Amino acid sequence: MTTNRRVTVIPGDGIGPEVVGATQRALDALGAGITWERCEAGAVSFRRGLATGVPAETLASIRDTRVVLKGPLETPVGYGEKSANVTLRKLFETYANVRPVRELPGVPSPFAGRGIDLVVVRENVEDLYAGIEHQQTPTVAQCLKLISRQGCEKTARVAFELARAEGRRRVTCATKANIMKLTEGLMKRTFEEVAREYPDIQADHVLVDNCAHQLVRAPEQFEVIVTTNMNGDILSDLTSGLIGGLGFAPGANLGRDVAMFEAVHGSAPTIAGQNIANPTAVMLSGAMLLRHLGLLTHASTLEHALAATLEDGIFTRDVTAKGAVGTAEFTDAVIARFGRRAERLRARDHRPLVLPTEAPAPPAALHTPMALVGADVFVRATDMPDALADALVKATEGSPFRLKMISNRGTQVWPSPGALPDLVDHHRCRFVRRDNAATPDDRDVLDLLARVGAARPWMHVEKLHTIDGAPAYTRAQGED
Ligand code: ATP
């Protein structure tokens, strides 16, 4: 249990100041003994000319307090390229995003009565959100999906530790490992390894598309779902919809040093400043913050009071058009119910969450030898595949590499597999070591690039390796 009760609070944009203010008021009324350090980030900072949207004082406060209650942050049109939300997550390496959803009494939803009570644990800093994009040609763009074993391992551990802390018995890993064997497959394989350390918890894997289907057909079967960043973004918005909408979906960004608590929803600018936003999602994030501080009883008091308010039919306008109360009145009603146990809240016994304290030890893989066996060179060309292949074969005569195949958006087009897809001006030309050539090195790759470049402009190159003797790259659709 920590004694640090200083918390950085970032009210944020749009409805942020109203719903975060409501939560601060509730936490103060609970007597949680929190000293708030109010900091700025988001639209106001972008408008002051800060490209990141996060001022140095805010970063300093977070470094110091290590705990943040945060409202949604906007990137106003015309300012900055990166979201301040993503910047904060990345800067403090809050690698796991925990998004619980639970059926709350009286909140209408097509799934009411099913007893939904699940948590999505999403890897929070890698994947397509690394934001590494390149326009390859005027007509073809690329985004790199970077997944690390360390990122998968830390996130999987949080999922299992969370299951233990909340008395849950099952963790499901959702990936697209059947299609993206190396990236999504890494999450699946790492999850399966970590699972062996948690024999008390049932671990299974489901393809993410099937997971979405199952979440709508039988959401009550899930307890904890752990997944990669992009999958988790989509699944967790889906799960908020199951229990009555974004107004009820809290979240926590957890890292080794810093924990940031925020609702899943954004700034909802169209309803900002009118005292109509639902503060429940941020209040439930506040309950997660209290648990993080070790204040388990206060967290439970807040959750019960919230549920009791809903049981009494007190709702904001996102739930009911008739008789809705405002943000401030809803907050008053919650505070007035401190000490009351909700009758229909499925409460859980929480134990403090044990986060992995060390970054995982460097895996043995760091020292595994890699052997260069070829290169994929991506060229810009509008020729038909046979003509492009002829030009490349000629240009690379005498190189230790031979052209093995050309693919267009992942489908082999040379040698022709019989049918041609629609062609775009972006070709992957796969070169492999000739049978009689010596073991190639980087100089041979540079020579290859010069030869290819003389025939057609190239945009990027991926060296092909084997790791421990196994190919560290996938085959094209149709490649032998
Ligand atoms: P952003 O671009 O910051 O994500 P947004 O309006 O596009 O903002 P959200 O803020 O996530 O996206 O919200 C989408 C809609 O959901 C809002 O327009 C609003 O109607 C509703 N909504 C979200 N949060 C709340 C809330 N706390 N209370 C009431 N309605 C909400």
Rounded to whole angstroms, the Cα distance separating 125 from 202 reads 26
Q: What is the pLDDT of residues 21-66, one digit of tens each?
A: 999 999 999 999 999 999 999 999 999 989 899 999 999 999 999 9
Span 418-445, mean pLDDT?
94
Give residue 206 CA to ligand 1 midpoint distance, Å.
30
pLDDT for the residue numbered 461: 97
Rounded to whole angstroms, the Cα distance separating 237 from 235 reads 6
How far from the centroid of its chain's Cα atoms is residue 184's Cα?
A: 13
Are residues 274 and 375 located together in one domain of the fold? Answer: no
Are residues 287 and 208 located together in one domain of the fold? Answer: no
In a domain, 247, yes or no: no
Q: What is the pLDDT of residues 78-133, one digit of tens each?
A: 776 678 988 898 899 999 999 999 999 999 999 999 999 999 999 999 999 888 99
Last residue of one domain, picked from the residues 196, 217, 240: 240
In a domain, 357, yes or no: no
Are residues 374 and 443 located together in one domain of the fold? Answer: yes
Ligand 1 first shell, C-beta below 6 A: 15, 19, 72, 74, 246-247, 265-271, 277-278, 281, 318
Are residues 103 and 186 located together in one domain of the fold? Answer: yes
- Whole-number Cα distances in Å, 379 to 119, 250, 392, 429: 44, 46, 10, 7
Are residues 280 and 373 located together in one domain of the fold? Answer: no
Last residue of one domain, picked from the residues 289, 319, 349: 349
Are residues 260 and 233 located together in one domain of the fold? Answer: no
Q: What is the pLDDT of residues 396-411, one digit of tens each?
A: 999 999 999 999 999 9
Are residues 215 and 105 located together in one domain of the fold? Answer: yes
Are residues 269 and 143 located together in one domain of the fold? Answer: no
Kindly give the number of the ligand 1 atom that is closest to the alpha carbon of 265. 11
Span 66-77, mean pLDDT?
92
Are residues 331 and 418 located together in one domain of the fold? Answer: no
Last residue of one domain, picked from the residues 240, 263, 297: 240
Q: Is the model's pLDDT at 11 over the cut of 70?
A: yes
- 176 flagged as catalytic: yes
Q: CATH code at 330?
A: 3.40.718.10
- 425 flagged as catalytic: no
pLDDT for the residue numbered 1: 45
Are residues 89 and 103 located together in one domain of the fold? Answer: no
Q: What is the pLDDT of residues 316-365, one digit of tens each?
A: 999 998 999 999 999 999 999 999 999 888 777 778 788 876 666 666 77
pLDDT for the residue numbered 411: 93
Q: Is the model's pLDDT at 4 over the cut of 60?
A: no
pLDDT for the residue numbered 363: 67
In a domain, 337, yes or no: yes
pLDDT, mean over the chain: 94
The pTM of the full predicted model, rounded to 2 decimals, is 0.93
Q: How many domains does the chain have?
A: 3
Q: What is the pLDDT of residues 279-316, one digit of tens each?
A: 999 999 999 999 999 999 999 999 999 999 999 999 99
In a domain, 249, yes or no: no
- 463 flagged as catalytic: no
Rounded to whole angstroms, the Cα distance separating 252 from 285 reads 7
pLDDT for the residue numbered 94: 94
Are residues 102 and 221 located together in one domain of the fold? Answer: yes
In a domain, 219, yes or no: yes
Are residues 110 and 189 located together in one domain of the fold? Answer: yes
- 13 flagged as catalytic: no
Angle of the 327-336 helix axis to the 16-30 helix axis, nearest 10 = 10
In a domain, 197, yes or no: yes
The helix (H) or strand (E) run that includes residue 446 is helix 442-455
Give residue 56 CA to ligand 1 midpoint distance, Å.
28
Please check whether residue 116 is in contact with residue 220, taking contact to mean a CB–CB distance below 8 angstroms.
yes
Q: CATH code at 458?
A: 3.30.70.1570
Give residue 267 CA to ligand 1 midpoint distance, Å.
6
In a domain, 245, yes or no: no
Length of the chain: 480
Span 223-245, mean pLDDT?
96
Give residue 133 CA to ligand 1 midpoint distance, Å.
27
In a domain, 4, yes or no: yes
Residue 392 structural domain: 368-471
